[in-house]
Amino acid sequence: MAERWLAARGWAPRRPPALSPSLLVGGALTLAFVLLALLAGTLAPGDPFAAAGAPFAPPSAAHPFGTDDLGRDLLRAVLHGARVSLIVGATVAVVSLTLGLLIGGVAGYRGGAVDDLLMRFTELVLVLPRFFLALVVVALFGASLANLIAVLALTSWGIIARVARAGVLTVKEREYVLAARALGGAGPRILLRHVLPNVLTPVVAYAALQVGNAILVEASLSFLGFGDPNLVSWGYLLNNAQAFVRRAWWLSVFPGAAIVLAVLSINLLADGIRGRRAGSRG
């Protein structure tokens, strides 16, 4: 009765938007991907580089994903490769989120010359060809996971900074921010406590997209032979499968399907987060 009375006068409380299918499906698949990566040592114990059966054994009960040319179990390799993808994607997302949020937040809140300087630097980062830059860095300084993560993290924050700046430009003029200024609050304190928390949702959505991009770049470099040779990754498995596409189809199908499913789930999750943000505004 109370809700009807309020609705008749246009005062009905705003309900949170329903969870979208993209958010539910993407969240479930992403959670499954993370769990498989974390539990790889339990689900498929042993060294992924060690032989586990006859070479080129097709998928069977003993080896659900088959074995490769050296008799290594492909299911074990795919599960352990998920760890590499998780490490690369999560680290790149966290670093790029932190840098983008701080740079975009400071630019939007301070404005003026600081805003112009930081945005010109951001535009420079945005036009850098990340894949080829990563290729050059790995070729010059070694094919290590740390080098790849560093170059991706330091070149992936540009779009996040622009999204954060746009949100800060809107939020900093709201009443509670103006009240905090009137009470003598310091600029950094207001920015960290009152402004940035209210622009997190769209920023997190774009940071989630960086996870999928980082996974694709790592897989591409490993496929080309520029990945860390001491780690099993999905790109490494695809690189190894090139010579046996006609003889053993499973060597390329299962790692390729893992990459597609992981990136798709993360993109669905990011799309669901952005859709929920848009629904909460309506």
- Gyration radius of the chain's alpha carbons: 23
Residue 110 lies in a domain: yes
Residue 51: strand pairing partners: 72
- CB proximity list for 155: less than 8 A, separation 6 or greater: 125, 128, 130, 133
64 belongs to a structural domain: no
Average pLDDT over residues 159-164: 92
Checking 227-230 for CB contacts under 8 A at 24+ apart, the result is: 227/143, 227/148, 228/84, 228/143, 228/144, 228/145, 228/148, 229/143
198-to-50, 80, 220, 267 alpha-carbon distances in Å: 50, 37, 36, 22
Confidence of residue 282 (pLDDT cuts 50, 70, 90): very low
- Which sign does the torsion angle of CA 118, 121, 123, 125 carry? negative
Q: What's the rounded mean pLDDT across residues 239-262?
A: 92
CATH code where residue 79 lies: 1.10.3720.10
Asked whether residue 198 is domain-assigned, the answer is yes
pLDDT of residue 21: 83
Instruction: Report if residue 5 sits inside a domain.
Output: no
Q: pLDDT digit string (tens) for 77-109?
A: 999 999 998 899 999 999 999 999 999 988 988
pLDDT digits (tens, 9 = 90+) for 218-232: 898 889 888 888 889
Query: Which long-range CB contacts under 8 A does 24-32 form with residues at least 24 apart?
Result: 24/272, 25/265, 25/268, 25/272, 26/265, 26/266, 26/267, 26/268, 26/269, 26/270, 26/271, 26/272, 27/269, 27/272, 29/261, 29/264, 29/265, 29/268, 29/269, 30/265, 30/266, 30/269, 32/265
Query: 51-62, pLDDT tens digit by residue?
Result: 888 999 999 998
Query: Which residue segment(s) compose the domain that 254 sits in?
Result: 20-38+72-281
Going by pLDDT thresholds of 50, 70 and 90, the confidence category of residue 2 is very low
Q: Note whether residue 7 is domain-resident.
A: no
Segments in 70-111 forming alpha helices (H): 74-110
Which pair of tokens denotes residue 21?
């299918």
Q: Is residue 15 part of a domain?
A: no
* Burial of 169: CB neighbours in 10 Å, binned 0-12, 13-18, 19+: middle
Q: Residue 210 is encoded by which pair of tokens? A: 């960086």
Tokens linked to 87:
């490490």
pLDDT in tens, 179-202: 766 766 666 777 777 688 888 888
> Is 4 inside a domain boundary?
no
Instruction: Name the domain count of the chain.
Output: 1
pLDDT tens-place string over residues 12-22: 445 555 668 88
Q: According to the model, what pLDDT value does residue 184 have?
A: 66
What is the per-residue pLDDT for 193? 74
Q: How far apart are CA 126 and CA 147, in angstroms?
A: 20
Strand partners of residue 73: 67
Q: d(Cα 34, Cα 28) in Å, to the nearest integer? A: 10
> Does residue 62 form part of some domain?
no
Q: What percent of the chain has pLDDT over 70?
A: 88
Contact 219, 234 (CB under 8 A): yes
pTM of the model: 0.82
Whole-angstrom Cα distance, residue 235 to residue 217? Answer: 9
Q: What is the pLDDT of residue 234?
A: 93
